[in-house]
A and B are shown apart, each in its own frame.
Chain A
Amino acid sequence: MNGVMKRLTRLATTARQYVPALIAAIPMIWLLLLFVLPLLFVVKMSLSEARLGLPPYYDLIRSIEDGIVTIQINFSNYMILAQDSLYVSALLGSLKIATVSTLLCILIGYPMAYAIANAPRHWRTPLLMLVILPFWTSFLIRAYAWIGILKNNGLLNNMLMSIGVIDEPLNILYTQWAVFIGDTYTYLPFFILPLYASLLKLDHSLLEAAADLGAKPITQFFTVTLPQTTPGIIAGSMLVFIPTMGEFIIPDLLGGPDVLMLGKMMWIEFFNNKDWPVASALTVVLLVALIIPFVLMQNYEQLDHGDNDR
């Protein structure tokens, strides 16, 4: 009896050692099945040759005859991307729109996050709720609403004309300006939240020390608050930059045909041209373009963690 109990205890101890690994394994398996595996399919597809039919590409593994496996890897899809200026300008267009939208989010979001973080304690949660509130409505509906606001005889133009600021309606809808506005509007909360957290963590005695050493409020901000909240700015910027790079719906609804972006190009290749291999190659390029800033951010965060470990 005693021996059984001992063995059971030992078994329980061993099992307990595996619990953390088990918990970690669940999201790992999830990511593996639903992210890594499909991604590998996409990579594989990008290396294959297009054809008419279903599926609209040839398999990499062409034939298995007499035990000899022929694998045909095809880099021409990437060559097409490099050679056709359309794709290059789509990448540059995405970069431009993502960069401008991120900068706009910083300019608008920083004062908002700052104001919320410095509001009286009982005001903070309601103000933060207001930032998140738009998520209660469908994203698609909100994007459509911008058409009503931005179009030539829409809310904005009518208002500006009625108060006499402009005589002719501003042509905003179906230009890149509409995409800047739409992206900034949509992703602003993603910028504000991490920055808000970063601003809350700011040690106020540092500001007092700066004041004590002769820094006026504006100098206090630039020499203490801003450097101390850089991790928040970077995290927030990534959360804006990465999705806007691949954004499809906003440029499609608000941008019109002249705004070239990767997301839209992918859609065109997949659904209009039925060229799955080129669309996959585009996806891979976008992914690589996004991994670079992400790795940079990771490095910065590690530096920052080193700084904070006491």
Chain B
Amino acid sequence: MTVETPIVQLQQVSKHYGGVHAVDDISLDIHHGEFFSLLGASGCGKTTLLRMLAGFETPTKGRILIDGQDMTAVPAYDRPVNMMFQSYALFPHMCVADNIAYGLKREGMNKQQQVERVREMMALVKIEQYAQRKPHQLSGGQRQRVALARALARQPKILLLDEPLGALDKKLREETQFELVNLQARLKTTFIVVTHDQEEAMTMSSRIALINAGRIEQLDTPRRIYEFPATRYAAGFIGLANLLTARVVSQQDDIVTLYSDQLGCEFNVSHGQPLATDAEVSIIIRPEKIQVTQRSDNAVNQLKGIIKEIAYLGDVSIYYAEIAPGIRIKFTQSNVQPLAEQPISWDQEVTLTWSAYSCGILSQ
């Protein structure tokens, strides 16, 4: 059995600016046809990583292999990758068709084929009618499509997208997310996206590398990153999370029993890895996993709280319950009936509970 070479291999790549480690010893394999996201807060090093793949920055240390070939020292213009810039970087003095044909001309493609490919690309992103317009005569959404068509025209092995939806308004962004996913599925080109928007990364990607301070915090599928965050940072960055500090009491099979001195109650959490007894860990519970119960028997995974804030978001409401002075728990409830009386109101005492299998333990 042969193992396919990953399309991108980063081998212990670092990039230092003076004393700042923008990218700090990252190793990463990205496979053919993946829709891969580099997700992180601004300044985490994700853009530097993308620019190193494009060839605009050279790594201080480490190697970058694309399709098995060492590209570390290859200049941008000789790499089989193309990039869609955050600012789109369309050539202002060229019309849409010339912008798209720019890369084809550099390849030395003949005129007839160029015209053919440009037409094909414009059809792909549905901008045929704007062929002769200059970039400044287009709307933001149209420009984004031109940038996409231009980057795809050379049929790159990898398409790099730097915050591809960052400049679009919310509605257009949501539509374009799905278009990008469909496009990628059709072309089977490897897409590598840089984004700071966790929702965007979740919707589009096959895998996400969550980056923090130049390192990979967690590398996994969107679902696994959400349901099983590896670290407190990952838990906080993606989605809403409640973190409770507790002490490991005992572990039996895959159920860990913990005790919180502060809250004075016991928790059961499903966890595969062995944990040291008495270790201080965090329990993570996602807000939608929490239920309001009528029972109140001080059982495990049960907390009493007083509702302090309610955020009505339309589809759901987020409730903030104070379970101890200064400690609040967020939980969500779907708003199933439009005008039904809110089942929970301010200052009401509620009992919250969740299953041992819908929460997790974070030791980092």
- By a beta-carbon cutoff of 8 Å, the part of chain A in contact with chain B is 203, 205-206, 208-216, 219, 223-224, 227-228, 307-310
B77: chain A residues within 8 A (beta carbon): 211-216
Q: Could you list 17 further interchain pairs (A-B, Cβ under 8 angstroms) beyond the known A203-B89, A214-B103, A307-B136?
A: A203-B87, A206-B89, A206-B92, A209-B85, A209-B89, A211-B75, A212-B54, A212-B151, A213-B77, A213-B82, A213-B150, A214-B154, A219-B106, A223-B102, A224-B91, A227-B93, A307-B93
B102: chain A residues within 8 A (beta carbon): 210, 213, 215, 223
A215: chain B residues within 8 A (beta carbon): 77, 102, 106
**Known contacts being A214-B77, A216-B77, A307-B134, is A209 close to B91, with CB within 8 Å?**
yes
B55 adjacent to chain A (CB < 8 Å)? yes
Interface centre among A213, A219, A223 (most CB of B within 10 A): A213
**Residue of B whose beta carbon sits closest to that of A214:** B106
Residues B103 and A213 in contact, CB atoms below 8 Å apart: yes
Interface centre among A205, A214, A215 (most CB of B within 10 A): A214
Q: Which of B85, B106, B136 contacts A308 (CB 8 A)?
A: B136
A203: chain B residues within 8 A (beta carbon): 87, 89
Shortest distance from the beta carbon of B92 to any chain A beta carbon, whole Å: 6
B107: chain A residues within 8 A (beta carbon): 214
Q: Which of B85, B93, B134, B154 contacts A208 (CB 8 A)?
A: B85
B249 adjacent to chain A (CB < 8 Å)? no
- By a beta-carbon cutoff of 8 Å, the part of chain B in contact with chain A is 54-56, 75-78, 81-83, 85, 87, 89-93, 102-103, 106-107, 134, 136, 150-151, 154
Residues B85 and A213 in contact, CB atoms below 8 Å apart: no
Closest 3 A-B residue pairs measured CB to CB? A213-B103, A214-B106, A209-B89
B92: chain A residues within 8 A (beta carbon): 206, 228, 307-308
**Residue of B whose beta carbon sits closest to that of A210:** B102
Residues B56 and A208 in contact, CB atoms below 8 Å apart: yes
**Residue of B whose beta carbon sits closest to that of A206:** B89
Residues A205 and B87 in contact, CB atoms below 8 Å apart: yes
B87: chain A residues within 8 A (beta carbon): 203, 205
B106: chain A residues within 8 A (beta carbon): 213-215, 219
Shortest distance from the beta carbon of B226 to any chain A beta carbon, whole Å: 33
Residues B82 and A310 in contact, CB atoms below 8 Å apart: no
How far, in angstroms, from A215 to B56 measured CA to CA in the complex?
13
Shortest distance from the beta carbon of A226 to any chain B beta carbon, whole Å: 10
Interface centre among B55, B76, B81 (most CB of A within 10 A): B76
Shortest distance from the beta carbon of A270 to any chain B beta carbon, whole Å: 46
How far, in angstroms, from A83 to B150 measured CA to CA in the complex?
60
How far, in angstroms, from A224 to B102 measured CA to CA in the complex?
11
B54: chain A residues within 8 A (beta carbon): 208, 212
B91: chain A residues within 8 A (beta carbon): 206, 209-210, 223-224
B78: chain A residues within 8 A (beta carbon): 214
**Residue of A whose beta carbon sits closest to that of B156:** A212
How far, in angstroms, from A53 to B87 measured CA to CA in the complex?
71
Residues B93 and A228 in contact, CB atoms below 8 Å apart: yes
A214: chain B residues within 8 A (beta carbon): 77-78, 103, 106-107, 154
Residues A205 and B136 in contact, CB atoms below 8 Å apart: no
How far, in angstroms, from A212 to B89 measured CA to CA in the complex?
11
A-B contact pairs, 13 of them (CB 8 A): A206-B92, A208-B85, A209-B89, A209-B91, A210-B102, A211-B56, A212-B151, A213-B150, A214-B154, A215-B102, A223-B102, A308-B92, A309-B136
How far, in angstroms, from A219 to B150 measured CA to CA in the complex?
17
**Known contacts being A213-B106, A228-B92, is A208 close to B76, with CB within 8 Å?**
yes
**Residue of A whose beta carbon sits closest to that of B140:** A310
A228: chain B residues within 8 A (beta carbon): 92-93
Shortest distance from the beta carbon of B327 to any chain A beta carbon, whole Å: 47
A211: chain B residues within 8 A (beta carbon): 55-56, 75-77
**Residue of A whose beta carbon sits closest to that of B108:** A214
How far, in angstroms, from A160 to B74 measured CA to CA in the complex?
45
How far, in angstroms, from A174 to B243 measured CA to CA in the complex?
89
A205: chain B residues within 8 A (beta carbon): 85, 87, 89
B134: chain A residues within 8 A (beta carbon): 307
Residues A213 and B154 in contact, CB atoms below 8 Å apart: yes
**Residue of B whose beta carbon sits closest to that of A309:** B136
How far, in angstroms, from A219 to B107 measured CA to CA in the complex?
12
Shortest distance from the beta carbon of B297 to any chain A beta carbon, whole Å: 63
A213: chain B residues within 8 A (beta carbon): 77, 82, 102-103, 106, 150, 154
How far, in angstroms, from A214 to B77 measured CA to CA in the complex?
4
A212: chain B residues within 8 A (beta carbon): 54-55, 76-77, 81-83, 151
B89: chain A residues within 8 A (beta carbon): 203, 205-206, 208-209
B90: chain A residues within 8 A (beta carbon): 209
Shortest distance from the beta carbon of B225 to any chain A beta carbon, whole Å: 30
How far, in angstroms, from A166 to B201 measured CA to CA in the complex?
72
B85: chain A residues within 8 A (beta carbon): 205, 208-209
B103: chain A residues within 8 A (beta carbon): 213-214
Shortest distance from the beta carbon of A219 to any chain B beta carbon, whole Å: 7
How far, in angstroms, from A224 to B107 measured CA to CA in the complex?
17
B93: chain A residues within 8 A (beta carbon): 227-228, 307
A210: chain B residues within 8 A (beta carbon): 91, 102
**Residue of A whose beta carbon sits closest to that of B81:** A212
A309: chain B residues within 8 A (beta carbon): 136
How far, in angstroms, from A307 to B91 measured CA to CA in the complex?
11
How far, in angstroms, from A224 to B85 measured CA to CA in the complex?
16
**Residue of B whose beta carbon sits closest to that of A226:** B93
Interface centre among B87, B90, B102, B151 (most CB of A within 10 A): B102
A209: chain B residues within 8 A (beta carbon): 83, 85, 89-91, 150
How far, in angstroms, from A219 to B106 measured CA to CA in the complex?
9
Interface centre among B81, B90, B93, B103 (most CB of A within 10 A): B93
How far, in angstroms, from A308 to B93 measured CA to CA in the complex?
9
Interface centre among A205, A216, A227, A309 (most CB of B within 10 A): A205
How far, in angstroms, from A205 to B84 measured CA to CA in the complex?
11
How far, in angstroms, from A266 to B271 measured CA to CA in the complex?
98
Shortest distance from the beta carbon of B130 to any chain A beta carbon, whole Å: 16
A224: chain B residues within 8 A (beta carbon): 91
Shortest distance from the beta carbon of B105 to any chain A beta carbon, whole Å: 9
